[in-house]
Structure 1
Amino acid sequence: MTVILYSHDSARRHVTPDGHPEQVARFDAVMAALEGLPLDRREAPVTPDAEILRCHPAAYLQGLRDAVPQAGTRQIDADTHLSPGSLEPALRAVGGACAAVDAVLAGEARAAFVAMRPPGHHAETATSMGFCLFGTVAIAAKRALDHHGLDRVAVLDFDVHHGNGTQDLLWDEARVLFITSQQSPLWPGTGGASERGAHGQVVNLPLPPGTDGALALSEWRGALARMRDLAPQLVLISAGFDAHRDDPLAQLDWDDEDYAALTREILDAAGGAPVVSCLEGGYDLQALGRSVRAHVDVLMEAAK
């Protein structure tokens, strides 16, 4: 049994302005890093609207559809843009995450990785922001809970920027343990340790600039003890790789092996629960490729 890889070439059709960090080349870097690996490669499907509506209102979805330009790009907030080809890959990112949940819960694999863009963890209930349109991982969690009937899901986020959207979408969800580390202070300015969710089920791990992988791993070990106690039925990961020391958008000091080490810790604490990992940030192309490869290599080791 190997890891399932969900992706789709439409990720190359979400075009941002020249110089924008969330660029088409990110997808190319990820796919090049995974080339040649014995993965079960599957097409990420377009999600039905009903999946989006698990987390976002219909008016928000229609507003995004109406905002897609006929040509060029349209700025919809300070750093989020739409092009004519943007909506399909965003819908396929959600579709890939939901298909991955279905597959691992059916026993087709122990783990899956969804390599799509744009990312999703900053999209709030009715607000796109931070390059993100839909709360991909939060929607996948809701599918696991409400379609598959799970009652213990863990969502983990190690992107350098706080997953404010995921936190917003799951704030009232008692069935989900949400653990997230992020540089602080840093955009979007949320993610303080005092933000604990409506049921105390949110664990924020703010890390000061310069935090290296060893210190971050120590923080994560403490939080993962809580996941171990939960005995989750499914683990979802928002896999952002912008805490890397080479990333231009932040100031943490992780390296490729730190992502491998954290992935091993997550899998150990998961206690055999299936895992679905979804690509979020990472803006130095070389560091992104290497870090994704380190992450997926560990997922593959565990799948043997």
Structure 2
Amino acid sequence: MKKILRRLRRFIRRLLGIKPRMVWLTHPVFLQHEPGGSHPDSPERIRAVEAELKAQNIWRHLQTAEAGEVSDTQLALVHSRRYLHFLEANQPPEGKIYRIDDDTVMSHDSMTAARFAAGAVVAAVDMVMAKKAHNAFCAARPPGHHAKSGSAGGFCLINSTAVGAMYAIAEYRLQRIAVIDFDVHHGDGTTEIFKDDPRILFLNVFEADLFPFPDLEKERGSSPNMLHTPFERGASSLTFRRRIRNEWLPVLGSFKPELILFSAGFDAHRDDETGRLNLHEADFSWLTHKIVQTASSCNGRIVSVLEGGYTLTPLGKSAAAHIRVLAGKGRGVDVMRYNRRLKQRT
């Protein structure tokens, strides 16, 4: 019944000439990934973002859709069959967990959730390419940007953003996709998967001395399609914005992407428990606006995928600031106030 109503609403909107809106893609199984009560990747993370969108009156401007499960063929574009078999073989029974490493844990429904997370990104790509949505936010978990082609890590099982990018290349023959990772942790999985792939521009911002503790000398200049931008602990909004403006935007503008995929982590916020950067939710709004403005070549085809952000209040506010810009609703009052203070300081 829900699917019929959604199709009817889309038909009426097309009939009236109303442009497609941003889509929020999720699935109930994302709440069933249970890595343990003290684990930072809590099911409450998705609820916190949704609650903040409703509190800020953004929710009513979004359309919603339920993710489907990714296919084995789509997963094989990124991950080895041996690795996928390992994950399936170690899915624990109900009420138990399987610990891959100190941080990365599987509960009974974790692999299903990871498959639907990748499926959400695939569905989002289809919707923006078919102009059924202007752009998309995938409210999915577990996160994915630490998952390599043949290994898990950092809470991540399947690299959903990478699956979405490879699917877009295979299905729509795209040749220029920008993957933009602003999680506070280095996207080592995405780095490994897309190293030296000229079809992918990977822009990667992170705190230098956090997991997975990248070798910055080795990373620097190692792949011409990648720009890694490390920050020292305590980096401010002004430092962040200056480097993005000077280092990222010229490269992104020259690349002229046909599609943008955000690995959208919000744990660089000053109040998040895992990072030590000094960013504000206004910085995520500013970054989103600058990317949209610079990459006009993609005609708004943007898919954003939830990665990190583990303290609920700053996660909700930061994700809402990001989504507000993508939904074309400008900047919130708090963001505008913070931006004015930054201008006064400069």
Please say if 1:89 is aligned against 2:113: yes
* Aligned-pair CA distance for 1:80: 0.5
- Equivalent of 2:306 in 279, 283, 286: 279
**Match of 1:245?**
270
- Equivalent of 1:55 in 78, 101, 109: 78
> For the residues of structure 2 that align with 1:23 and 1:135, how far apart are their CA atoms?
19
RMSD: 1.5
> For the residues of structure 1 that align with 2:71 and 2:220, how far apart are their CA atoms?
31
- Preserved CA contact (<8 Å) 2:196 2:224: no
**Match of 1:17?**
36
User: Taking every aligned residue pair, what percent have the same amino acid on both sides?
Assistant: 37
Please say if 1:190 is aligned against 2:214: yes
> For the residues of structure 1 that align with 2:60 and 2:297, how far apart are their CA atoms?
23
Give me the TM-score of the superposition, normalised by structure 1.
0.96
Q: Which runs of 5+ in 2 are unaligned?
A: 1-19, 331-346
Which sits farther off after the overlay, 28-37 or 238-247?
Answer: 28-37
**Match of 1:32?**
51
- Equivalent of 1:296 in 323, 332, 336: 323
* Aligned-pair CA distance for 1:172: 3.0
**Match of 2:103?**
79
**Match of 2:65?**
42
**Match of 1:207?**
231
The structure with more helix, counted as a fraction of residues: 2
Which sits farther off after the overlay, 204-213 or 266-275?
Answer: 266-275
1:168-217 alpha-carbon deviations (Å, 9 max, x no partner): 11113111000010001111012737525765010000000001222112
- Equivalent of 2:188 in 161, 164, 167: 164
* Aligned-pair CA distance for 1:37: 2.9
**Match of 2:175?**
151
- Paired amino acid for 2:277: L
- Preserved CA contact (<8 Å) 2:91 2:98: yes
- Preserved CA contact (<8 Å) 1:159 1:281: yes
- Preserved CA contact (<8 Å) 1:26 1:285: yes
- Preserved CA contact (<8 Å) 2:257 2:297: no
> For the residues of structure 1 that align with 2:148 and 2:86, how far apart are their CA atoms?
14
- Preserved CA contact (<8 Å) 2:256 2:297: no
**Which SS does the other structure have where 1:147 is aligned?**
helix
> For the residues of structure 2 that align with 1:14 and 1:37, how far apart are their CA atoms?
27
Give me the TM-score of the superposition, normalised by structure 2.
0.84
**Match of 1:259?**
284
> For the residues of structure 2 that align with 1:155 and 1:191, how far apart are their CA atoms?
21
Q: Which runs of 5+ in 1 are unaligned?
A: none
- Equivalent of 1:2 in 4, 15, 21: 21
> For the residues of structure 1 that align with 2:265 and 2:33, how far apart are their CA atoms?
18
Larger radius of gyration: 2
